[in-house]
Structure 1
Amino acid sequence: MGMLDIFLAFLILASFACVLVDRDQVRSRLAVATAEGWVTESKYGPRLGVRWWRLGAGVLLGLACGVKWSGMYYIAAFGLLTVMFDVAARRAAGVRHPWRGAIVRDVLPGLWAFVVLGVVAYLSTWWAWFGSETAIDRTLVATTGTDPLSVARGALGSLFQYSTHVLDFHASLVTKPGQQHPWESKPWTWPMSLRPMLYYYEGGTTGCGEARCVSATMLIGTPALWWLSLPVLAWGLWRMFARLDWRYAAVVVGYLTGLLPWFATLDRQMYFFYATPMAAFLVLGITLCLGQVLGAARAGAERRGTGLLVVALYVGLVVANFVWLWPILNGDPITESRWQAELWLPSWR
């Protein structure tokens, strides 16, 4: 999708997978403790040992922050999500004080995983900058000696000041009245892809079978997916709070973490590619809904058959919709009439 955002989205999704595997591993370890009869020896429950998948999530989120600082939102969100998973797991295992147990047993190691390891992973993404003598702002803070502590102090101090300059620049990158970027968008338009991003347009190309063709590359969400985002979100919130469905809770947390923080800085310039990390969680949410449409494995053949038909028709619709949009996703030459037919909404123009 947009520039660095595809790498950010990959690392966030990979860290999310680690968080889910960690949840399963925690429950497996607690099940062993329950079976062996020592899960209630402490009112806080047992210690769970090294949680490698949580450590992996912390590393991946640190790398995500190295791509874009918006990865920090996911450190906070996924950190809280793991705490909630731990509380639920300890309660299910019969621990007398699951909240206290999670705080005493799990929060401090979680901080090491998500914060300390995350910072180390983030700093590792700057290895080329640290190793260069000519990198931008590399020597803002002078090194006062040759010992490791002095070298580290100078390098980290320079990085801090450089990061401060970058933050100041982006904080001042606001939309002035009457000077909006033509393809700027705000976060309330992202869930339904109401304002896409036009990367490239050439109106005088050839190769479409007519004398004059159009080639355009537009970042746009497949409507068959994105236009269901609000109903899927509403259903996910209901399942999350009314049914305490952890699957929907995890997906909703991931989705909203990619959306809500941007409402805090509405005056700055924003574009649809900022929503790239949301895409995976939208697909996961729709997948959960389709699973319910399909029906449980124990449901009757007629119920499952009807559900399978509905799911197959919807997936076919998504594929057909994507194929229709492919020319403007890929910059293929198309006729002017086809170009106009691709632009379904006034806000897409």
Structure 2
Amino acid sequence: MNRDDRARRLYAWLGPALVVLLAAALRLWNLATAHDLMNQFDETYYVKDGWTLTQLGYEGSWPEDGNARFLSGDAGAFLSDPAFVIHPPLGKWIIGLGMIVLGPENGWGWRVTTALLGTAAVLLLMLIARRLTRSTTFAVVAGLLMAVDGLAISMSRVALLDTHLTFFVLLAFLFVVVDRERTMARIAQTVAARYDGDVPPSWGPLLWNRPWILAAGAALGAATAVKWSGVWVLAGLGIYLVVTDALARRRAGVLLWPADALRQGAATFVLFVPVAVVVYLASWTGWLVSDGGYDRHVADDDPATGFWSWVPLSLQSLWRFHVTMYNSAAGITAGHTYASPAWQWPLLLRPTGMYYHHDAIGVDGCAAANGCSQVISSIPNPLVWYAGVAAVLYLAYRFVRSRDWRYAVVLTGIAVTYIPWLFFPERTVFQFYTVLMLPFMLLALTFALQHIAGSGGDTYRRHTGQRLVLVFLGVALVLAVFWYPVISAMTVPYDFWRLHNWMQSWI
């Protein structure tokens, strides 16, 4: 191995490693600063639910002064009565794990696992980007943009479920990308070997040996066990797999490729969906093996009859609990100060203020004329966000022209994480849900930057494109530094916080 090869191998490891370390530092530094449970948002529920899960096996209820007692260190103030919840338990188990390890006394315990998963999501994005762009440099670019992005950082520093969901969805996409690379080559090689002279085969191979699809199904089962919106990703990726299998068979020359794709689609379903169901049900183990969970024995008094009578009473109770949860979740239409319907999200009209604390001059050492503020805003880097929206449109145009499967992966990610929310215009939703969209927007942006950096056939145009990319990244990093204090609850002058409110609706 010569010196250049050694340098490339070192860079392939060192570049991503430095980005991961940066992401970890920005997410873990001063993590417990805001010693509060964000009761405008669901941290107040998820933290206490996570703790009672570890103690009872199910989400327990708390007295009226439960928040105050928990924050004062009285983590044993919960009751044995069950609490009603509208989200599956896995994300709360993960939050509870941090408190088991570090204790429930402050934000380090209840936020650390979210911060670690947010850091791991940056690594997963780089692994996906490396396979899609075929460039370590642009994989590092994608990871760096996510590592320093305000939305990704802030959602990793509060104990909500969306970062957990993002981690498992990215894990599933990575597994699907690995499968795509291998499966398309296997289809082409097998079909080529079956040609009878110039006559193509009627049928392609029926592929069962696809461990990465099993892994993707398991990851999406875990995603759904965090939030039910993981089901949309499961359905969308399932459709993607069937369509891309069909196109691969058509390109390979299979005569009956539509029927062949349906045959393979049935096999893919068997590999993809049942494992997701098993993982999802496994997340409810604590509720199933204990007696105190909400609606735990509702089926005992009214057991199912007919076809469903063979189902164990515990699973009947679980099904009825799910019906109750769904009806409650579907009815969340109450107004909220930071509500933002999905059509607004690309415009970034109403980013979410997670936390705000103000001290007057002289309080806790504040010397600013108009007092000091601590803020956790979930706003993304504005330059990167709007550029990302434009890049998604650009990538859609490129896909129409080239039919590149790599672009299809990114556009599928955008579709399954955004479009379903447009069908719930009355539902109370928030801009911070877009943390699940963000990695796919950054992949689209990375493709656009790669095209700019490599545009044109002459040296001058390439150098100009590369300079433009460097300028864009430089401005993005400057903005990231400017925004970091107001996404991480640093104490800053109130006037400094006001400098960040570029639109009236951002306050």
Give the TM-score taking structure 1 as reference length.
0.90
In the aligned structure 1, how far is the partner of 2:312 from the partner of 2:290? Answer: 16
CA distance in 2, matches of 1:263, 1:207: 46
Structure 2 residue aligned with 1:100: 259
- Structure 1 residue 245 corresponds to structure 2 residue 400: no
Which residue, 308, 328, 344 being the options, matches 1:189? 344
Q: Which residue of 2 aligns with 1:317?
A: 475
Q: 1:290 is matched with which residue: 444, 449, 463?
A: 449
2:399/2:408 contact within 8 Å kept: yes
1:163-174 equivalent positions in 2, closer than 5 A: 163-174=322-333
Q: Say if 1:207 and 1:333, in contact at 8 Å, map to a contact too.
A: no
Within 5 Å, which residues of 2 pair with 1:47-126? 47-104=206-263, 106-126=264-284
User: CA contact under 8 A between 2:339 and 2:429: conserved in structure 1?
Assistant: yes
1:224 paired to 2:383: yes
Letter in 2 for 1:240: F
**Residue deviations 1:68-126, cap 9 Å, x none?**
0011111111111111211121122221222221111x211221133212111111111
The aligned runs of 1:264-275 (5 Å cut-off) are 264-275=423-434
Instruction: Find the counterpart in structure 2 of residue 200 from structure 1.
Output: 355
For residues 264-283 of structure 1, give each alpha carbon's deviation from its aligned partner in whole angstroms, at most 9, with x where no partner exists.
12112111222221011011
Q: Does 1:302 align with 2:460?
A: yes
Is 1:207–1:213's contact at 8 Å kept on the other side of the alignment? no
Compute the displacement of 1:37 (Å): 4.3
Identity of aligned residues (%): 31
Summarize the Cα distance change of 1:303–1:163 in structure 2 as closer, same or farther, 3 Å threshold.
same
CA contact (8 A) 1:190 1:275 kept: yes
Q: CA deviation at 1:141?
A: 1.5
Instruction: Give the conservation status (yes or no) of the 8 Å contact 2:191–2:205.
Output: no
8 Å contact from structure 2 (residues 485, 492) kept in 1? yes
Deviations 1:16-52 (A, max 9, x none): 1111111111122124325544697741212223111
The answer to whether the 8 Å contact 2:391/2:445 transfers is: yes
Match in the other structure for 2:183: 26
Q: Is the 8 A contact 1:142 1:154 kept in 2?
A: yes
**Residue matched to 2:174:** 17
- Counterpart CA distance in 2 for 1:279 and 1:60 is 19
Aligned partner of 1:190: which letter?
W
Q: TM-score, normalised by structure 2?
A: 0.63
**Per-residue displacement from partner, 1:121-171 (whole Å, max 9, x unpaired)?**
111111111121112211112298xxxx99961111111111111111112
* Counterpart residue identity of residue 224, structure 1: L
Q: Please give the secondary structure, in 1, of the residue aligned with 2:427.
A: coil
Quickly say closer, same or farther: Cα 1:46–1:200, change in 2 above 3 A: same
State the shift of 1:191 in Å. Answer: 2.0
SS for the counterpart of 2:175 is helix
2:169–2:219 CA contact under 8 A, matched in 1: yes
Cα distance, 1:251 vs structure 2 = 0.9
Q: Distance in 2 between matches of 1:233 and 1:36?
A: 39
Shift of 1:242: 3.1
What letter matches 1:226 in structure 2?
A: W
Correspondence 1:142 to 2:300: yes
Distance 1:304 1:268 in 2: 47
Distance in 2 (CA, whole Å) between partners of 1:275 and 1:90 is 35
1:128 matched to 2:286: yes
Structure 1 residues 209 and 96 mapped into 2: Cα distance closer, same or farther (>3 Å)? Answer: farther
Partner of 2:492: 334
State the distance in 1 between where 2:178 and 2:195 align: 24
In 2: Cα distance, 1:168 partner to 1:31 partner: 47
In 2, the alpha carbon distance for the partners of 1:87 and 1:227 equals 35
Are the counterparts in 2 of residues 83 and 102 from structure 1 also a CA contact under 8 Å? yes
Are the equivalent residues in 1 in contact too, given 2:191–2:201 (CA < 8 A)?
A: no
Distance 1:213 1:33 in 2: 67
2:202 corresponds, among 36, 43, 51, to 43
CA contact (8 A) 2:176 2:212 kept: yes
**Aligned equivalents of 2:209, 2:238: Cα separation in 1:** 16
Distance 1:108 1:7 in 2: 30
Q: Distance in 1 between matches of 2:173 and 2:194?
A: 32
Which is further off, 49-58 or 64-73? 49-58
Going from structure 1 to structure 2, the CA distance change for 1:227 and 1:208 (only over 3 Å counts) comes to: farther
Kindly indicate whether the alpha-carbon contact (under 8 Å) linking 1:61 and 1:114 is maintained by their aligned counterparts in 2.
Answer: no
Q: Contact 1:63 / 1:121 at 8 angstroms: preserved in 2?
A: yes
* In structure 1, C-alpha distance between the alignment counterparts of 2:317 and 2:191, rounded to whole Å: 51
Q: Give distance in 1, aligned partners of 2:451 and 2:365.
A: 45
- Give the partner amino acid of 2:183: V
RMSD: 2.3
Distance 2:331 2:240 in 1: 32
Task: Give, as a single letter, the amino acid of the residue that structure 1 aligns with 2:424.
Answer: T
The worse-fitting range, judged by mean Cα deviation, of 65-74 and 29-38 is: 29-38
How far apart, in 2, do the equivalents of 1:216 and 1:181 lie?
19
Q: Which runs of 5+ in 2 are unaligned?
A: 1-154
